Structure 1
Amino acid sequence: MQEQEKTQDPTSQPIEAGEPQASESSQAEQASAASSGHEQRLAAAEAKASEMQDAFLRARAEAENIRRRAQDDIAKAHKFAIESFAEALVPVKDSLEMALKLETPSIESLKEGVEMTLKQLSTAFERNRLVEVNPQPGEKLDPMKHQAISMVPAQQEANTIVSVLQKGYMISDRLLRPALVTVAQ
């Protein structure tokens, strides 16, 4: 039975000192297998890096396209920002031109035409959020909306509006032109 064990498992024999543990061919096979595993991992890593580089380049191109489209949109918005306001002013201009074409206008017809034209202009201002700044006498001076031209002695509280020389205007919440006012000393 011992002989069968010896013949069945040749690696179970005792190894003598100075004798190599594995044959040179098995070492080469192991090195080849390890090298093959490293090559496969290297190939997989290179494929992954190539994939990532491609994804990066696509994302960068997409970001550049978005930036370019946004710049185009901003340029168009600046170019056509007053389009609705211009559309609202065209009828006002038409009315003024028609008034000038009249051969012999009467004072009443001129006044009526000017009133209608002013109404058209006021409507255009309202539609485009252009609001008058017209303070009433006695109101407190607001330096964010009013510009004091002079200070006059008056029988009212100091720094209050005495008179309005010129109305001001605001577009939404932004001051376009301050109201010119005189203020009490």
Structure 2
Amino acid sequence: MNDDTTKIEPTLDGAPAPVDISPEEREAAAAANEADLGGAMAELEELRSKNIELTEQYLRAQAEVQNIRRRTDEEMSKARKFAIESFAESLLPVTDSLEAGLAHKDATPEQIREGAEATLRQLKSALERNKVLEIAPAAGARFDPHQHQAISMVPAPDQEANTVVTVLQKGYSIADRILRPALVTVAAPQ
């Protein structure tokens, strides 16, 4: 057998037995290992810096989310606190009119009535500006349980069944939501 060849014999555990290799081969293997190690170290450093960069981006994003959440909570709190502000402002002239009417001691009944009617118009105008609308169905209108509350059924020979006969109390809605249904009497089936 030639001395240049190396024979590898397996051990009992399946791992190769130590091999005798030449010093040149040992140097080449060490250089290759060193190059591999250098590449692995460079890759490790690159991954570490990328990890630091991603961690910083994550922390900045988390801080931004917290800031947005805090600002949103503050805005919601302010919106709830001051939501009624414009409504209250529109009612101030009504209050002024009522106080002026009460301050006028020598008013005639006609003047009192005119003042009350003017104040009622102001109040209705203020409600309408704030999207508070009357629900006052006309006689003969179809009964709508979503907007009306039937107090009683009455015989009405000249009306179709389940239609409004009279409105006992107007209802009100705000932005398509019922604040109070209209209280009505309904025509009974015949």
CA distance in 1, matches of 2:171, 2:37: 84
CA distance in 2, matches of 1:15, 1:104: 137
Instruction: Decide whether aligned partners of structure 1 residues 109 and 15 sit closer, same or farther in structure 2, where only a CA change above 3 A counts.
Output: farther
What secondary structure sits across from 1:141 in the alignment?
A: coil
Cα-to-partner distance string for 1:40-81 (whole Å, 9 max, x where unaligned): 101110110111111111111111111121111111111111
Q: 1:170 aligns with which of 164, 168, 173?
A: 173
Structure 2 residue aligned with 1:116: 118
What secondary structure sits across from 1:137 in the alignment?
A: coil
CA distance in 2, matches of 1:152, 1:92: 38
| 1:17 CA drift (Å) | 2.7
Following TM superposition, the consecutive aligned residue runs of length 4 or more in structure 1 with deviations greater than 2 angstroms are 14-30
Structure 2 residue aligned with 1:34: 36
| 1:150 CA drift (Å) | 0.8
What secondary structure sits across from 1:22 in the alignment?
A: helix
Structure 2 residue aligned with 1:66: 68
| 1:127 CA drift (Å) | 1.0
CA distance in 2, matches of 1:157, 1:137: 11
Cα-to-partner distance string for 1:116-169 (whole Å, 9 max, x where unaligned): 111111211121111110011111100110000111112121111111000001
| 1:22 CA drift (Å) | 2.8
The residue type equivalent to 1:163 in the other structure is: T
CA distance in 2, matches of 1:123, 1:15: 113
| 1:23 CA drift (Å) | 4.0
Instruction: Decide whether aligned partners of structure 1 residues 49 and 168 sit closer, same or farther in structure 2, where only a CA change above 3 A counts.
Output: same
Alignment root-mean-square deviation, CA? 1.7
| 1:26 CA drift (Å) | 3.2
User: Which structure is higher in helix share?
Assistant: 1
Query: Where does 1:13-52 land on structure 2 (aligned, <5 Å)?
Result: 16-18=4-6, 20=22, 22-52=24-54
| 1:21 CA drift (Å) | 7.4
CA distance in 2, matches of 1:15, 1:125: 109
What secondary structure sits across from 1:144 in the alignment?
A: coil
> What TM-score do you get using the length of structure 1 for normalisation?
0.87
CA distance in 1, matches of 2:144, 2:87: 28
Q: Which runs of 5+ in 2 are unaligned?
A: 7-20
How many residue pairs end up in the alignment?
A: 172
Structure 1 residue aligned with 2:184: 181
CA distance in 1, matches of 2:102, 2:5: 125
| 1:25 CA drift (Å) | 3.1
> What TM-score do you get using the length of structure 2 for normalisation?
0.85
CA distance in 1, matches of 2:76, 2:31: 67
The residue type equivalent to 1:160 in the other structure is: T
CA distance in 1, matches of 2:4, 2:73: 82
